Chain A
């Protein structure tokens, strides 16, 4: 589904990402881990054509992302709060995204019912604009919005950060259900090794912009990662 070839990103002389070849097959739950500055967000930004690669390219479903915009209809993402429109209520925001993805209000209303548990009555009908919600609740709204319209590729940058423990557990369950029940390819980055090994079938470790490990998740993966990062 996603294919990075000879990809690199440099700022002045400073290389922040070099990936010779990385392929993520359709339907995979893909996890990206690495310390700060490892290049996780850079990779996602390149995949979404928010920054230009210095060399190489990324193809999303055979579409080169910086050449054509045709990848947009089947790709959704939540990277940070700048994906939220602060002066809308959460409902209006969901309707807006829904409209862009060809879903009407009724579709969205029924779509949202499955998230009642996660929303915990703090998001919908709250008479608050998104900008006035807490960081955690903003994140919930952003993640749910990224799931609107059955996208084939879902990109979530650190979805677990800022969430309360209950929501972390519920989100984990949600993402696991998603990987088993749909054909969606899911890309997640996280600093929480436990969460990411639970959700993802495959984990890639980045260090200073390079792929240093590419693991198919198994019982030992968490141990392996912990040893790697404590070294």
Chain B
């Protein structure tokens, strides 16, 4: 049976238009994966001699064990945002002569084969070998590798529990951030020193391999917690029961002020507030707003003025990048309606445009307090705002005309918690880094003011040609209309 499951998923993946249309993106992801693997490999090989060199009187193994807490915490965070729980459309299988246990076990065991579980091995195994080569004993090296593998799997399953729990709440990824920050703070201020606790636990396992039974027991524990959660979801009414919320009809009369785009604006606002996936863009705003706090308080970054550009584009453009890259896929479920209704394409796109620029301006206003860290920050943020309004917004709208992937707002597919993975973040990279590069050239040749002016001028050019650009973009959408309709018609 497992053979069949694997076969179905293979077909689902390769027979979707999305795959065929985005080979370039897949290749990019592939490169990224190779890059990560090589980095980990280098780290695994180099860390032992480096530590030995820097701290000759300490045992490198003890040092590494001491920082494992941060490794695990980062791993958990990375997974939460990048790793998807393996999705499988279970409904067709429910009435077939198949044990439900088998389906659940298949899904869970398959997740153990995720790239995220193999990646650490590239660092763990070389380090283990280095341990053996440096006379720590073969047993020590092997036990250490085994323990790390088990911990990696624990994090793997722990992540799914966190994901399923946070998918039930409305707050999306807020809980994981809060938990991670709390753990980090408790550790940092020595309230509970997780890092030394985990360090001594790991030391104990290495010294006395029998203790490896503790992480094994933990692994079994998290596996069965997952098992129970998924087992419950194997009834089709389970999804329905949780989903039917009381609806409220709202008018949003204030949107009338925006004239002909008002009905679409209302529709977009309802889209964002009533569906789980687009709703996450709201929480991303919060993250965006506080993003500057990571860099600005640190005096080291004060001289890196190009860094302000990156942060400024991020803060004022985070909603744009998050929401904009799925235009018009957000409307894919009813795209045929929009295409046959009495709708001017331009108004539809103008409403998306207005929504994005309004949020950008709002984010700029909310980020004004960063002026506390220096007036240059405010100036650069303003330039970044103008750049976003004049360049990035059109790039996103234009790129949308190549969008061929349907977004299922109703999320009927069981086990589907997030729907987006690493790809979503990759798309943002050019939008964030191109302005930094544009800033750097005049900045190094002519100075700070020239860099800022370049961004502002580019932005203003875009704003001036708004009508022209929108006509161009509309034309592009009209050209790909039929392709979009047929791609959005596909269920996967």
Point out residues on A near B: beta carbons under 8 Å: 48-52, 72-73, 75, 77, 79-80, 82-89, 91-92, 96-97, 99-101, 126-129, 131-132, 149
Contacts and interface: CB of A to CB of B under 8 A. Distances in A.
A85 B274 CA distance: 12
Contacts of A75: 340
Contact of B274 (A50, A91, A96, A129): A129
Interface stretch (B239-247, B292-300, B303-311, B359-367): B239-247
Contact of B333 (A51, A86, A149): A86
A129 B247 contact: yes
Interface in B246-268: 246-250, 262-263, 266-267
Contact of A127 (B246, B337, B341, B485): B246
Given A51-B486, A79-B336, A72 B244 contact: no
A76 B337 CA distance: 10
B366 to A, nearest CB: 27
B275 interface: yes
Interchain residue pairs A-B with the least CB separation, the first 8: A83-B337, A87-B274, A48-B340, A99-B263, A72-B342, A100-B342, A129-B247, A89-B247
A73 B339 CA distance: 12
15 contacts: A48-B336, A50-B482, A72-B340, A79-B336, A87-B271, A87-B274, A89-B248, A92-B270, A96-B266, A96-B267, A100-B343, A127-B246, A128-B244, A129-B245, A132-B247
B393 to A, nearest CB: 25
Contacts of B244: 128, 132
Contact of B339 (A50, A92, A96, A100): A50
B419 to A, nearest CB: 16
A64 B284 CA distance: 45
A2 B474 CA distance: 28
A83 B334 CA distance: 5
Interface string B386-412: 000000000000000000000001100
Contacts of A91: 249
A50 B333 contact: no
Interface in B414-459: none
Nearest to A145: B337
B334 A82 contact: yes
Nearest to A48: B340
Contacts of A89: 247-249
A51 B485 CA distance: 8
Interface string B335-378: 11101111100000000000000000000000000000000000
B255 to A, nearest CB: 11
B75 interface: no
Contacts of B263: 96, 99-100
Nearest to B252: A92
A97 B34 CA distance: 50
B482 A82 contact: no
Contacts of B337: 82-85
Contacts of A83: 334, 336-337, 340
B275 A50 contact: no
A99 B347 CA distance: 13
Nearest to B266: A96
A176 B339 CA distance: 28
B340 A49 contact: yes
A65 B342 CA distance: 13
B267 to A, nearest CB: 6
Interface in B199-252: 243-250
B333 A82 contact: yes
Contact of B340 (A50, A96, A128): A50
B245 to A, nearest CB: 8
A91 B409 CA distance: 20
A155 to B, nearest CB: 9
A86 B335 CA distance: 12
A203 to B, nearest CB: 24
A103 to B, nearest CB: 11
Contact of A85 (B246, B267, B340, B342): B267
Contacts of B486: 51
A128 B247 contact: yes
Given A51-B482, A72-B342, A72-B343, A82 B489 contact: yes
A14 to B, nearest CB: 15
Contacts of B335: 82
